[in-house]
Amino acid sequence: MSLKLLKIPFKNLIFLFILVISSSIISVYPINLIMGIIDATKAINKDVSISIIMKLGFVYLLLQIINSFLISLIKYLSTNYQINLEANLQRGIFEKLTKINLDFFSKKDTSSFSNLIIRDVDFIGKNSLEPYTELIRAVTSFIFGVIFMWRINPLLTSFVIPLGISSSLIIRKVSRQSEANISIHRNNSDKMIKVFNEGILGILPIRLHNHIIDYSKIIETSIFDLKNSLIVQRNLEIKSNFIAQLFFMSSIGIILIISALLVVNNYLTLGGLTAILMYNHMLVDPLLSVIDLNPKFIQLKVSTQRVSNIFDEPSITKKSATEIDEIVTENLTYKISNKSVIENLNLHINKKSSLAIIGKTGVGKSTLTNLLAGLIEPTSGSIHYYNELKEISSNSIPKLSYMMQNEFLFDTTIEKNIRLANPDLTEENYREILDICELIELEKNIKNSSIGEAGAKLSGGERKRILIARTIADTNASIFIFDELSSSLDSKTFEKIIERVESILENKIRIYIEHNKLIEQYVDKVILLKN
């Protein structure tokens, strides 16, 4: 993911990291002042001692005030950058999803996929900058801590550095184990979300078919796997912290003994002893910070990779929608895994005509319709679209309105669901569409109420009639496609609606995908698909 996508100017990030480095240096440097103040108390001349203490003390207070301001400014900037970053990422990923080939979604469990995207984007948004600022702070503090400590006493510093390097190598090994386990934990978490979502969506059949005990066992297995991976992760983190604490306590013990001996032998001042002990703290704290940050970096890597995979998906070529009035196919063939679904089909669909594609489930009805609509490309052969006898450009697609068999209804009012296809629909046309689809009474009863997620508050027939209404509301379309218009409708209602649809769309091309042969008496042409 690029900075351009996230819309955070590079200069802003540089400024932020300069502030972090400056704050880190200012956090370390005052220890030198403390050393000077302590040593000044041993000065022979009292007036000189007071003068040095006052000067160094004033500088110390000034640096602490400046550093407090810098820390607050860093927090303010990083928080605002992250909020904007998350918003831009949410917007960017949705725009990308609208441009991806529809085959991508057919391979996904929609509910789980949606939850995972939301969770990944949320984690990236909340952890995209702050962990890096903390890491830069830790590295800067460690480097300057070593420099200042070396200036006081190279011997003591030479004891601390090997301990730090050794512990870092061990922690790195543990981190690799942690990284592998986080992937396992994430997979278990994804599985848990999927199983739980399916359990909630399928709660009715689970109850009706007395499947509660069996499904509870599935839930328990998912919980058990998730719990185990979480325990392993916690144990690895405890192991890392133990190594860091062991290093911390050991280094303090060694430094305390050696530095005390140096003070006794007048090789080190009391202020130097205090400074070294404080710098030791400055060296260990960054290591502890890196350990604490490591799980976040691992999780950030996993989440970023998943989101990046979406952005790496090829986008479909954008084509302009154009009015058409004729469709001609020549030797149209479509194969899946080298198996022909449609083979050498020659078809001419005249303007102002209707076509029914009839056949059993799985024979290729929807595939043929998607080919005719220009939603998928044929394996071989060609499809030509005409408008007033002129063939339209290959960079164009027909304007179409398509009622898919399992099309989604939004958790809002009936009117908003219908107007999704045409926000400019006049009130007169809207009322006419309600009448055509037998929706007047239903709309009157729940006019300002939501219909529930995916139309959960409605019957199957009511949902179907709203989908039909949405489809015919798109008055700018040249082709109207209805996938299983008759399903969920009784014969009487189906006959009423199909007659009205044919009447209102008589100047358009209408394509019906049907298993119900009653459709034959209402259309101009029928294609019967067989295996």
Look at residue 160 in the predicted model and tell me its pLDDT: 66
How does DSSP classify residue 102?
Answer: T
Proportion of the chain above pLDDT 70, given as a percent: 88
Residues 347 and 329 sit within 8 Å (Cβ to Cβ):
yes
Task: Specify whether the backbone of 309 is left (phi greater than 0), alpha (psi in -120 to 50) or beta.
Answer: alpha
Q: Where in the chain is the domain with CATH 1.20.1560.10?
A: 3-312
Question: What pLDDT score was predicted for residue 472?
Answer: 94
SS (H, E, C) 223-235: HHHHHHHHHHHHH
Amino acid 69: pLDDT: 94
| Nearest by Cα to 36 from 339, 262, 221, 271 | 271
Lowest mean pLDDT: which of 3-7, 151-155, 362-366? 3-7
Domain with CATH 3.40.50.300 in the chain: 320-528
pLDDT for 528 beyond 90: no
Residue 351 has pLDDT above 60, yes or no: yes
Angle between helices 154-201 and 212-264 (to 10 degrees): 170
pLDDT band at 281 (very low <50, low <70, confident <90, very high): low
Which of 167-176, 235-244, 271-280 is predicted least confidently?
Answer: 167-176
Mean pLDDT of 177-190: 73
Q: According to the model, what pLDDT value does residue 501 have?
A: 93
Residues 88-137: pLDDT tens digits?
888 888 888 878 876 677 666 666 677 778 888 888 888 888 888 888 88
* Better pLDDT: 388 or 240: 388
Its pTM stands at 0.67
CA 485, CA 478: separation in Å to the nearest integer?
Answer: 18
Please list, in sequence order, all residues whose beta carbon lies within 8 angstroms of the beta carbon of residue 301, skipping any fewer than 6 positions away: 179
Whole-number pLDDT of residue 3: 44
- Residue 283 pLDDT class (50, 70, 90 cuts): low
Q: What pLDDT score does 302 carry?
A: 79
User: Mean pLDDT, the chain, as a whole number?
Assistant: 82
- CATH superfamily of domain region 3-312: ABC transporter type 1, transmembrane domain (1.20.1560.10)
Spatial distance between the Cα atoms of 278 and 145, rounded to a whole number of angstroms: 9
Helix (H, G, I), strand (E, B) or coil at 398: strand
Q: Tell which CATH classification among 2.60.40.10, 3.40.50.1010, 3.10.105.10, 3.40.50.300 matches the domain 320-528.
A: 3.40.50.300
Mean pLDDT, to the nearest integer, of 169-178?
Answer: 66
Residue 2 has pLDDT above 50, yes or no: no
* pLDDT tens-digit readout, 352-411: 899 998 888 778 888 888 888 877 888 899 888 888 888 888 778 888 899 987 788 888
* 267 token code pair: 């090789």
Which residues does 394 contact at the CB level (< 8 Å), separation at least 6?
none
The string of pLDDT tens digits covering residues 298-330 is 778 878 888 888 888 887 777 777 888 898 999
pLDDT of residue 151: 78
Rounded Cα distance between 191 and 110, Å, is 14
